[in-house]
Structure 1
Amino acid sequence: MPPETQTQQRAEIHNIGYRHYDGARLGRAYARRSLFSQSLRGAYGLGRSAKSKVAPMLLAAVMCVPALILVAVTVVTKQNSLPVEYTRYAVIMQAVIGLYTAAQAPQSVSRDLRFKTIPLYFSRPIEAADYVTAKFAAMASALFALTGVPLVILYVGALLAKLDFADQTKAFAQGLVSVVLLSLLFAGISLVVAALTPRRGFGVAAVIALLTISYGAVSTLQAIAWDQGSTGAVSWIGLFSPITIIDGVQTAFLGATSAYPGGFGPDAKAGLVFLLVLLGLIAGSYGLLLRRYRKVGL
């Protein structure tokens, strides 16, 4: 008997129970929300191993402990104001924020690149814009939680210390605006850097270098300019580091005291340049991410 005939005689069809899906098609919006929720939870290790929770939770605690100490000092000593302004807190704690961002931004995007799962996302009713929007929003939300909770602690403590309600509410609102801008800027920059490499370690090092080392370099140059009497250059040098850009914007528009040497932050006109640079970096980061994922999703 010919081999083809033997094969045909042995051929059988097995019903292994596959069924057509007859439920609702939830579409892109549901997929976008799910990806946002998953990414936000992952930024704090939720839904992952216990080891993955250690670093983000520890850094979140480090962000909050100084605020609790400041509140305790204010209440016990009955001071007339908080020792640290709401807008200044994130600038003081920028090293912790930088470490958190460097650890979590690569975690958010590097594994998808490393294991080449991006085309699987886009095989469903989800596009590059949906993926980028969800990841960007999740990282910014995680950073806002990290930087916003200490401000809430300071605000509650100020009210417990019976400080002026109107003044504290205004200052608290200004602080929240500041950390919203910081969260968007840090999220955008860090995700762009992390999306350039599938190796998480390289992404972590690159984000630390960009956020932390740039701040050290800018602070050094500002100190040199201040010592040489170039007070006008002090503020413009601040355009070359993410955290000093935030400092310049909040000094010009949010009533903050500048952390620049001598307190020489930008005035309203220079502050407009800082604001435009800030918004341009956020929009540019989103655009670069969109371009990157349209390419790797092929």
Structure 2
Amino acid sequence: MSPQTPGPAQAAASAATPADTRIHNIGYRSYDGPRLGRSAARRALFSQSLRGAYGLGRSAKSKVLPMLLFAVMCVPALIIVAVAVFTKSSKLVMEYTQYAVFLQMVISIFVASQAPQSVSRDLRFRTVPLYFARPIERVDYVLAKFAAMTSALFILTASPLLIMWIGSLLAKMDFADQAEMFGQGLVSVALLSLLFGGIGLVMAALTPRRGFGVAAVIATLVISYGAVSTLQGIAYGTDHIGAVKWIGLFSPVTLIGGVQSAFLGAPTQFPGGEGAAPGTGVGAIYLLVVLALIAGSYGVLMRRYRKVGL
């Protein structure tokens, strides 16, 4: 049997000299650049989550709803300012502390749409354990998400107050009075942002399904307010005015309203007017409940991510 004739590739290989031989190392190199650590990772996650709440860095479709809600929040403030400037009024037609309560439906829709976007996708696609690979830890993730949601809400609620304050200065209203009321309004919306942000994230983190998260947030913020307002109306209509202030403890919106009435000089929205508004003593209970809910929301999130982070 005749030997097999070598092919062109074999002939070229046999003709190669040792000088033509090359060994290529295609392995991975170790990273020798700067390592920024946990704080940088936490800041990056906060920035990404805050930008994502307004659709920045995402598709154009994702920007429509948050930007529309932001515009809806600011338009009434612009109208209030225009009326004050052209009529040369000595006061604004709405208190700074009333504004967020008046537009609480818009705020609730923002929380319902953006809180699930912030956390539900990470749960659905099981990317949370990737975050908890070094250097970031569970507390960093929860803090970054909580701070981002709170900051997004504060921007949403404080921006119209800033417009109103600037408008009051253009209308030549008393600077000291307006600055004091503006500060009270900022304290109010800061508390509201912490409370709504914490509750929204807890509801959204309970399920990886975004639709379920939206429904849970709506039920907690909107339906609870409707139920509490109805019960307060019934209590007032049946001459149980003293019960009105206690019923207000069971809705996030009325909790903020009670704190404002007791400590920030805001007119009450409760049925019965000032007679049904919480005084300093009951107002302290309102404030303690608000702070307990904020701390409790953080604790529930930490417990939730202890499981899903594995």
What's the offset of the Cα at 1:18?
2.1
Amino acid at match of 1:259: Q
Residue 64 of structure 1: aligned partner: 74
Structure 1, 184-193 or 17-26: larger mean CA deviation: 17-26
* Cα drift, residue 15 of structure 1: 2.6
Aligned to 2:11: none
Partner of 1:126: 136
| Pick aligned residue for 1:37 from 26, 47, 51 | 47
> Does residue 294 of the first structure (1) align with residue 306 of the second (2)?
yes
Aligned to 2:257: 247
CA RMSD between the two structures? 0.9
CA drift at 1:231: 1.2
Structure 1 unaligned residues grouped into runs of 5+? 1-12
Q: 1:268 aligns with which of 265, 271, 280?
A: 280
From 173, 176, 190, give the equivalent of 1:163. Answer: 173
Shift of 1:17: 5.2
Amino acid at match of 2:246: W
Corresponding residue for residue 28 of structure 1: 38
Q: Secondary structure at the match of 1:124?
A: coil
Q: Structure 1: how far apart are the matches of 2:149 and 2:64? A: 18
Question: 1:19 Cα shift?
Answer: 1.5
Judge which range, 210-219 or 174-183, deviates more: 210-219
1:165-218 deviations in Å (ceiling 9; x for gaps): 000000000000000000000000010000000000110011011101111111
TM-score in terms of structure 2 length: 0.91
Alpha-carbon distance in structure 1 between the residues aligned to 2:271 and 2:87: 29
Q: d(CA) in 2 for partners of 1:96 and 1:252?
A: 24
Q: How far 1:242 sits from its partner (Å)?
A: 0.2
2:249 is matched by which residue type in structure 1?
L
Counterpart selection for 1:16 from 20, 26, 45: 26
| Deviation by residue 1:84-128 (Cα, 9 ceiling, x = unmatched) | 000000000000000000000000000000000011111121111
Aligned residues between the structures: 286
Q: How much does 1:14 deviate?
A: 5.8
Matched, 1:47 2:57: yes
Does residue 180 of the first structure (1) align with residue 180 of the second (2)? no
**Selected match of 1:86 from 88, 96, 100:** 96
Q: CA deviation at 1:16?
A: 2.4
Q: 1:23, CA displacement in angstroms? A: 1.1
Deviation at 1:78, TM superposition (A): 1.3
Deviation at 1:79, TM superposition (A): 1.3
The alignment status of 1:136 with 2:156, answered yes or no, reads: no
Distance in 2 between residues matched to 1:53 and 1:124, nearest whole Å: 32
TM-score by length of structure 1 reads 0.95
Cα separation, 2, equivalents of 1:83 and 1:47: 38
List, as ranges, runs of 4+ consecutive aligned residues in structure 1 with deviation greater than 6 Å. Answer: none
Deviation at 1:262, TM superposition (A): 2.1
Equivalent residue letter for 1:74 = A
DSSP-derived class of the 1:261 partner: coil
Measured in 1, the distance between the counterparts of 2:272 and 2:24 equals 80
Show the counterpart of 1:7. Answer: none
CA distance in 2, matches of 1:80, 1:260: 27
Larger Rg: 2
2:203 alignment counterpart: 193
* Residue 222, structure 1, aligned to residue 245, structure 2: no
Alpha-carbon distance in structure 1 between the residues aligned to 2:37 and 2:245: 48
SS at match of 2:272: helix
